[in-house]
Structure 1
Amino acid sequence: MAVAALSTVVEWYDFTLYLYFATVLSRVFFGGGGTSLALTLGGFAVAYLMRPLGAAFFGHVGDRYGRRRMMLLSMALMTAAMLATALLPTYGSIGPAAAWLLLLLRCVMGFSVGGEYTGVVAYLLEGARPECRGLVTSSAAAASEVGALLAAAIAALTVNAMDTPALDSWGWRIPFLLGAALAATVWIARSIMQESPDFERQAAGGTVPTNPLRHALTHHRAAIARGFAISALGSITYYVGITYVPAFLASASPMTEGEALWLSTAAALVVILVTQVTGSLSDRYGRKPVLLAVCIAAAVLPITLFSLMAGASRGWATVGALVLAAVGGAMSAVGAVATAEQFPGEGRLSGLALGATTATAVFGGLAPYLAQELMGRSGWPLVPGAMIAVVALCVLPVFLTMPETRPAPNRPRA
């Protein structure tokens, strides 16, 4: 379980590095100019559309042949894609073809990550004691944020350690080479993992579904819909409220690229702390009350927080970014366990692929691009906050009517 959680650090470092380096990559691969940042964020969005496909593929592997085999396969694919990205030619070398190659590799990474996160969440949930499932499963969200923290910190160090010509010429490759090396190391570590006890139960009892996707669609339609709603809010609070923030600050506030990245590093620390607290609260009070509290915060706070970040004061911008990060981290924590508990062990990964991962593709991958476009067209810097608030209000009725999934103290594990 420790290897599963820690290895998620590397997978998410590799995937989120692109967003933290968005302004640099817009120059290196898209030639700079007024539309280059929007095109770079569009590449992030397109790659996210591969996540449901990857989740369906890896979900089938995990539900049919085991969680361990699925996680080894996804990490191998991520390692290869990260190394290839580090070695890509730039716009200055081959012109627009550089951007297309980058997009292709981003799609491979999106395909890989599609199965990674749901696989780790299921693995941790199935190995945890019922009374601490929230805390243990939330470590997947914490580990992914550690990966994002590492990506933000390495990006900030790289940007601040060299001048722009050196950064655009060769410096941008360093964080991607580091990610490839870390991913290869984690693949070796994952080879010692044991299989999930829940999948071993299925194998021993002969209940492993032969067609996991069909099984999930036949028996768990309501759970898929609830997982979609939970993940929709979790995705937009995370990807608009946390990972999009450096690009927002660089374009809508007086902060420099380096300052925005350092603030994102601080925000990642807040998320890691909030994640564990929220997981514990969901074990004590239940998933539903915590979901409702975070949903209300997401409906009320973001517009004000983006207003603070768009202002002239660096101090208030810092407050806005850190509070917004706390909301996103809390939603990621309770969302991880709440979505996984919507399904029994049989077909769990495929159910998560159909519900949670599909929502992430729409409300995670497309949201930063849409926020940048709408903000540019309207001239209103509070568009990202309004987007989060609207999604929160839309999913609130689902949270109000959904059943509690926290195991009773004397209930055996599923």
Structure 2
Amino acid sequence: MTDTPNSHRPLPRSSLAIAAFSTIVEWYDFTLYLYFATVLARVFFGPGEASLLVTLGGFAVAYLMRPIGAIFFGHIGDRIGRRHMLLLSVALMTAAMLATALLPTHAQIGAAAGWLLFLLRCIMGFSVGGEYTGVVAYLLEGAPTAKRGLIASLASAASEIGALLAVAISALTVALLDEASLQSWGWRIPFLFGAALAGTVWIARSRMEESPEFHRQKAAGSVPDRPLLHSLTNHRAGIGRAFAISALGSITYYVGITYVPAFLTSAGSLSEKVSLTLSTAAAVVVILVTPFVGALSDRVGRKPVLAGLSLANMLLPITMFSLMASGSHGNALAGALVLAALAGGVSAVGAVATAEQFPGEGRVTGLALGATGATAIFGGLTPFLAQYLVQQTGFAIAPGVMIAAVSLAVLPLFLTMRETAPNISRPKKI
């Protein structure tokens, strides 16, 4: 899709930096929940193998709130402005994380504790729906044209910094506290930190400039009155392509990275401390890989990078999960690092490729329908499904098979889709 030249007036670096690195909060919270899943299972649902499955199930159901929140916040972003959307979403996230840190436990009020946690996860999922899509749209619209891939990929890199913070604080909390202290009050520490982090991001975002693309729409009188209807009427093909790109990005990230600690603890027979330490190394790999892949997509195009990563994800994850299940620390590290590199690459190019499926008008709502819809299914549900399949079948490679299946399904689309990188030459029509 092509926007007018005026919509590509670069934003100040300060606004782009605030937008890119504010995704730390969103991914800190959701990654924290998965990395801390075994601890939260005992705190809110009591002992027993079923508690972990219920905890992951709560994550999956709450994740279904993301598309609803994305449509709500997408309407604000497309009608009122990207900046207003990003301020409101992070304010709601701050309140939800603080409330989570103050919840009573299963030992204090019984089953009601689990229901309260579930309610707050739904609120969190709703608010997060407006985060990543809004940030990616803002970065795409404010970046220099030739550096869209690199700039948009910074949101993915920053997201992993949030994940790194989550795993580091989780690992530190688990390492420093005994089991009794952890279940009594220690589990609250990471959520209190997250609430403070979110509040800081709100303050920083209040200084951001509005997207130049939204200013263009206001000047031209082209701001859609009903963004949802506008997107469904005009951008159905773009929504489908964004869904496919995000399906691969979501399953590689949520099964290939954030589910891995729970997998290593249960199927890999490693301690929570070791599993979280390995995940820290995986997060560093994603941070290093992401800007490289984003810049590569600026140079050679989104299409070949997406196709290459899809092929790699068809071949490697099954072997990696088999390695991690062996119980060997070395094999677990190798598997986790390879999976992290694959997921980081897809996230980097996927950020800009999904946003480029839409023109400026209705872009955030289009992303909400396509990208966030895919994330709800292939992100929120897949850790639960992966754990269920491993427990029911005894096959440690089941999560890898899931990734390979999605990669195979989306590869034909990647091979035939139109290149969207603006600086890549295209064959001239005859």
TM-score of the aligned structures, taking structure 1 as reference length: 0.98
Percent identity over the alignment? 71
CA distance in 2, matches of 1:115, 1:198: 18
Partner residue in 1 for 2:234: 219
Q: Aligned-pair distance for 1:8?
A: 1.1
Equivalent residues of 2:255, 2:399 under 8 A apart: yes
TM-score, with length taken from structure 2: 0.94
CA distance in 2, matches of 1:318, 1:410: 40
1:62-103 alpha-carbon deviations (Å, 9 max, x no partner): 000000000000000000000000000000011000000000
The aligned amino acid for 2:207 is I
Q: CA deviation at 1:356?
A: 0.7
What is aligned with 1:373? 388
Q: CA deviation at 1:314?
A: 1.1
* Secondary structure class of the residue paired with 1:318: helix
The aligned residue for residue 194 of structure 1 is 209
Asked whether the equivalents of residues 130 and 409 of structure 1 are also in contact (C-alpha less than 8 Å), the reply is no
Aligned to 1:112: 127
For residue 422 of structure 2, give the secondary structure of its aligned residue in structure 1. coil
- Give the whole-Å Cα distance in 1 for the aligned partners of 2:300 and 2:91: 39
What is the match of residue 290 of structure 2?
275
- TM-fit CA distance, 1:15: 2.5
Please list every run of 5 or more consecutive structure 2 residues that lacks an aligned counterpart in the other structure: 1-15
What CA distance in whole angstroms lies between the structure 2 residues aligned with 1:410 and 1:393?
A: 28
1:247 aligns with 2:247: no
SS at match of 1:29: helix
The answer for the alignment partner of 2:166 in structure 1 is 151
Distance apart, 1:313 and its partner CA: 1.7
Counterpart residue number, 2:109: 94
Q: Is this contact kept in 2: 1:63–1:349, CA < 8 A?
A: yes
CA shift at 1:409, angstroms?
6.5
Aligned counterpart, 1:30: 45
Q: Is the 8 A contact 1:58 1:115 kept in 2?
A: yes
Q: Is the 8 A contact 2:241 2:354 kept in 1?
A: yes
Letter aligned with residue 184 of structure 1: G
Point out where structure 1 has 5 or more consecutive residues left out of the alignment: none
**Pairwise CA RMSD of aligned residues?**
1.0
Q: CA, structure 1 residues 409+367, in 2 after alignment: closer, same or farther (shift >3 Å)? A: closer
The answer to whether 1:299 aligns with 2:327 is: no
Q: What do residues 36-83 of structure 1 show as CA deviations (whole Å, max 9, x unaligned)?
A: 000000011011000000000000000000000000000000000000
Supply the distance in 2 between the matched residues of 1:205 and 1:274 (Cα, whole angstroms): 39
Q: Report deviation, 1:410.
A: 9.5
Are residue 408 (structure 1) and residue 416 (structure 2) matched?
A: no
Question: How many residues of Structure 1 are paired with residues of Structure 2 in the alignment?
Answer: 411
Q: Say which SS state the counterpart of residue 254 (structure 1) adopts.
A: coil
Q: What residue number does 2:367 align with? A: 352
Deviation at 1:226, TM superposition (A): 0.4
Deviates more, 1:9-18 or 1:120-129: 9-18
Q: Does 1:11 align with 2:26?
A: yes
Name whichever of 310-319 and 146-155 sits farther off.
Answer: 310-319
- The C-alpha deviation readout for 1:354-411, integer Å capped at 9, x for no partner, is 1110000000000000001111111111100000000000111111111000003799
CA contact (8 A) 2:270 2:327 kept: no
In 1: Cα distance, 2:425 partner to 2:416 partner: 24
Amino acid at match of 1:272: I
Q: Do 2:238 and 2:358's aligned partners in 1 also have CA atoms closer than 8 Å?
A: yes
